[in-house]
Amino acid sequence: MTPAPRRTRLRPTDLLRLGMIGPRTRRMRSALSALGISLGIAAVIAVTGISSSNQAHLLERLDRLGSNLITVAPGNGADQKPAPLPPTAEKMLADIAPVQQVTATGATKAQVYRNDLVPTQQTGSLTVLAARPNLLDVLHATVRSGRWLDTASENLPVTVLGDRAAQRLGVTAPGERVWLGGQWFVVSGILAPNELAPELGTAALVGWPEATAHLGADGTAATVYLRSHPERVPDVQAVAAATANPAGPSTVAVSRPSDLYTARSEAKNALTGLVLALAAVALLVGGVGIANTMVVSVMERRGEIGLRRALGARGGQIAAQFLLEAVLMGLTGGIGGLALGALTVYGYALAQGWPATIPLATTAAAPLVSVLVAAAAGIYPALRAAKASPTDALRSA
Amino acid sequence: MTHHQPKGTTPVLQLTGVTKEYTGSPPLRILHGIDLTVDHGELLAVVGPSGSGKSTLLALLGSLDRPTTGRLCFEGHDLAALTDPQLAALRAHRIGFVFQQFFLLPGLTTVENVATGLLYSGAPATLRRTAAVEALHEVGLGHRLHHHPDQLSGGEMQRVAIARALVGNPALLLADEPTGALDSASGATVVDLLRTLNAKGTTIVVITHDRDLAASFPRRIGIHDGRIDFDERTPHPAGAPR
């Protein structure tokens, strides 16, 4: 008698071809199932990509603005009232060894209005500050239009407005006048927005001598801006308070605007967590879609399952065929979603003028996650296909 | 199973007291004590009305299902001693099936459909393809290699299915109502083909409810209510076994 036949394996290429039968013969249905996964993946890629592109853009800007800027400002005293910096603060801070540049704005008692008819309470939350001539240099700030204060104009009723101040005062171009400290000041320039010193956006800046002479400035600094040696920033931060006000270091507020700026951009990322959760739900729904397609497919293809069993397929080989079919759908969906998401990120970044970046981990994880989701979705239908009795499958088909 | 018998004297199939019951309350007994021997090179018809148990018998003969009691030997192997994967391998290598509904896969060409008959035997793709082309020539469809099933007539589809069953040179070809879905002309072609294949040495068991069709076969086994009703032979001019 002949020996009992040995069990045989399906070759990987044959298995792959088997897995392609479903997607090949039911194109529309498979494509729609894969689309569910695609949308989930595309959402994840788009959200993480846009957020990381935004981050890259912020870091790029921070690099331009310099992360070695330190601000020293009056904090609250023991009585919870602002404690002004001593008049010596500016000079003392300049003497810290790693400090390369110092500049300051000084508080005044004046307010600025559009004209002399505006009631005095309607200050528009604008401040009038005295400015050192090197203020823009140190902050890497620029005027959007007009000119910065020079040695002549800093002694004259001339002001430079922050961008939001100009907007609120209805000033559109240099040369217009504003009502400042009870007299007309000519606007000589308007500042471009600066992320490191947002407080200047709502300020009207006047020359230090003019402020002292006519606007009640007492010569003390409202904010001192320091540029430190880039590698010594923490050292300078540590000693700045005591240097500025040796009598009361705890009443001095020292901060590094780039830290705040980064923190703000990270706070925005809390929102992306929510969007990612939604994307995960989309992926889950995509997985349910694939499971549904596979269950229907297994029911429709009972004849094929019975035939394959008659041709000598083991239950496991039937399961492998259907599982692979689900996985291929997931993989297709994942790659499609990757392409769709990447396109969205590049388009959005291009429109915003950002450098487009997609985190590598996300790019690698996208097809992997979609395959896992699809495999999980395919397990139940595949096992059902494997367990179907061949005689029942052939009879009912 | 322990002694060796020379090939040709071992029957392809040997059933002793085979019964089949389906669980339920009360259990449904479809086959009652079937005794049957099929030798190499036979061409026989199992004939009976629907509900007589002939489809259940075909499933048992093809090792798609196991008897509830009794002994079923295929080429000397007691199927009860084989595991499910071994039964699958047996089907892949030694048994060919032909069904009334053809079961051709719609997305595949004729050649690919026939080559599927060798897929689970572990043969490499090129060999499967060569054998498929050869089998299609053998059933007279050498000119239809790259057609899809929906481009074929019913008779052609059944010939493709027969080629798929043959492609692995099985010891046994089982055909379940092979002409059931065909008009009489196509049916006659298919029966002629089966006869030709048998003349070349293939053992063939055909299940049918059609008494006229059965009458044209050299051996006829009538089945009724799960029991063998008759087992008749027509003396064959070419000298069939026994």
Position with higher pLDDT, A220 vs A308: A308
pLDDT of residue B191: 93
Distant-in-sequence, close-in-space partners of B64: CB < 8 Å, separation ≥ 6: A309, A310, A390, A391, A394, B91
What does the pLDDT look like over B157-198, one tens digit per residue? 999 999 999 999 999 999 999 998 899 999 999 999 999 999
Residue A329, min C-alpha distance to chain B (Å)? 17
Are β-strands B203-208 and B43-47 bridged in parallel, bridged antiparallel, or unpaired?
parallel
Average pLDDT over residues A373-378: 95
Q: Are A68 and A76 in contact (CB under 8 A)?
A: no
What does the pLDDT look like over B92-134, one tens digit per residue? 999 999 999 999 998 899 999 999 999 999 899 999 999 999 9
Q: What is the DSSP letter of B100?
A: T
d(CA B139, CA B186): 13
Helix (H, G, I), strand (E, B) or coil at A326: helix
In a domain, A250, yes or no: yes
pLDDT of residue A267: 59
The ipTM is 0.91
Print the domain residue range for A180.
68-256
What does the pLDDT look like over A171-199, one tens digit per residue? 999 999 999 988 999 999 999 988 888 88
User: What is the Cα B40 distance to its own chain's centre?
Assistant: 13
In a domain, B97, yes or no: yes
Distant-in-sequence, close-in-space partners of A209: CB < 8 Å, separation ≥ 6: A154, A155
Domain endpoint, select from A227, A256, A285:
A256
Residue B7, min C-alpha distance to chain A (Å)? 6
pLDDT at B7 over 60: no
Number of domains comprising chain B? 1
Domain endpoint, select from A213, A240, A256:
A256
User: What is the Cα A169 distance to its own chain's centre?
Assistant: 32
pLDDT of residue A77: 73
pLDDT at A258 over 60: yes
Distant-in-sequence, close-in-space partners of A18: CB < 8 Å, separation ≥ 6: A10, A320, A321, A324, A325
d(CA A37, CA A330): 7
A96 and A218 together in one domain: yes
A280 and A361 together in one domain: yes
Helix (H, G, I), strand (E, B) or coil at B16: strand
Exposure of A271 by Cβ count < 10 A (0-12 exposed, 13-18 middle, 19+ buried)?
A: exposed
In a domain, A198, yes or no: yes
pLDDT of residue A394: 85
Cβ count within 10 A of residue A223: 19
Do A311 and B117 make contact, defined as CB atoms within 8 angstroms?
A: yes
pLDDT of residue A51: 84
Q: In this complex, is the C-beta atom of B21 within 8 Å of any C-beta atom belonging to chain A? A: no
Q: In this complex, is the C-beta atom of B129 within 8 Å of any C-beta atom belonging to chain A? A: no
Q: In this complex, is the C-beta atom of A64 within 8 Å of any C-beta atom belonging to chain B? A: no
In a domain, A73, yes or no: yes
In a domain, B239, yes or no: no
Print the domain residue range for B163.
42-52+89-233
Position with higher pLDDT, B79 vs A233: B79
Residue B2: pLDDT band with limits 50, 70, 90: very low
A137 and A285 together in one domain: no
A192 and A138 together in one domain: yes
Q: Are B54 and B207 in contact (CB under 8 A)?
A: yes
In a domain, A344, yes or no: yes
Helix (H, G, I), strand (E, B) or coil at B44: strand
Query: How many Å from the N-terminal Cα to the C-terminal Cα in chain A?
Result: 35
Position with higher pLDDT, A349 vs A9: A349
Q: Which residues of B touch A320 (CB under 8 A)?
A: none
Token couple for A161: 């407005």
pLDDT at A201 over 70: yes
Q: Are A94 and A268 in contact (CB under 8 A)?
A: no
In a domain, A7, yes or no: no
What does the pLDDT look like over B10-43, one tens digit per residue? 899 999 999 999 887 788 888 999 999 999 999 9
What does the pLDDT look like over A303-324, one tens digit per residue? 999 999 999 999 999 999 999 9
Residue A34, min C-alpha distance to chain B (Å)? 20
Token couple for A80: 């919870």
Do B120 and A311 make contact, defined as CB atoms within 8 angstroms?
A: yes
Q: Scanning every residue of chain A, which has its alpha carbon at the shortest distance from the alpha carbon of B5? A: A1
Q: Which residues of A touch B59 (CB under 8 A)?
A: 390-391
pLDDT of residue A294: 95
In a domain, A239, yes or no: yes
A187 and A87 together in one domain: yes
Do A314 and B88 make contact, defined as CB atoms within 8 angstroms?
A: yes
A184 and A123 together in one domain: yes
Residue A54: pLDDT band with limits 50, 70, 90: confident
H or E element that contains A183: strand A183-191
Residue B237: pLDDT band with limits 50, 70, 90: low
Token couple for B122: 């572990």
Q: In this complex, is the C-beta atom of A310 within 8 Å of any C-beta atom belonging to chain B? A: yes
A1, A25, A312: residue with CB nearest B75: A1
Question: Which amino acid is residue A335, in one-letter code?
Answer: I
Residue A7, min C-alpha distance to chain B (Å)? 5
A91 and A221 together in one domain: yes
Q: In this complex, is the C-beta atom of A16 within 8 Å of any C-beta atom belonging to chain B? A: no
Residue B5: pLDDT band with limits 50, 70, 90: very low
**DSSP line for A282-312:** HHHHHHHHHHHHHHHHHHHTHHHHHHHHHTT
In a domain, A6, yes or no: no
Q: Are A206 and A130 in contact (CB under 8 A)?
A: yes
pLDDT of residue B120: 93
pLDDT at A84 over 70: yes
Cβ count within 10 A of residue A318: 27
Q: Look at residues A337, A373, A370, A335 and name the one whose alpha carbon lies nearest to residue A47.
A: A337
Average pLDDT score over chain A = 88
pLDDT of residue B149: 94
pLDDT of residue A247: 85
Average pLDDT over residues A72-87: 81
Position with higher pLDDT, A266 vs B105: B105
Number of domains comprising chain A? 2
pLDDT of residue A3: 64
A231 and A305 together in one domain: no
Domain endpoint, select from A234, A256, A278:
A256
Average pLDDT score over chain B = 90
Token couple for B34: 């079937």
Q: Look at residues A55, A41, A75 and name the one whose alpha carbon lies nearest to residue A269.
A: A55
d(CA A240, CA A223): 13
d(CA B229, CA A262): 91
Helix (H, G, I), strand (E, B) or coil at B68: coil
Average pLDDT over residues B79-85: 92
pLDDT at A280 over 80: yes
pLDDT at A293 over 50: yes
Q: In this complex, is the C-beta atom of B227 within 8 Å of any C-beta atom belonging to chain A? A: no
A241 and A336 together in one domain: no
Q: Are A240 and A252 in contact (CB under 8 A)?
A: yes
Cβ count within 10 A of residue A170: 10
A52 and A143 together in one domain: no
Token couple for A366: 């996208």
A125 and A240 together in one domain: yes
A115 and A162 together in one domain: yes
What does the pLDDT look like over B190-207, one tens digit per residue? 999 999 999 999 999 999
Q: In this complex, is the C-beta atom of A259 within 8 Å of any C-beta atom belonging to chain B? A: no
Q: In CATH, what number is assigned to the domain containing residue B131?
A: 3.40.50.300
Across chain B, where does the E strand assignment appear? 13-22, 28-38, 43-47, 69-74, 77-78, 95-99, 172-176, 203-208, 219-224, 227-233
Q: What is the DSSP letter of B210?
A: -
In a domain, B226, yes or no: yes
Q: In this complex, is the C-beta atom of A311 within 8 Å of any C-beta atom belonging to chain B? A: yes
d(CA A178, CA B180): 101
Token couple for A89: 């603060």
Which of A50-59, A108-117, B14-23, B60-69 shows the lowest per-residue confidence on average (mean pLDDT)? A50-59
In a domain, B137, yes or no: yes
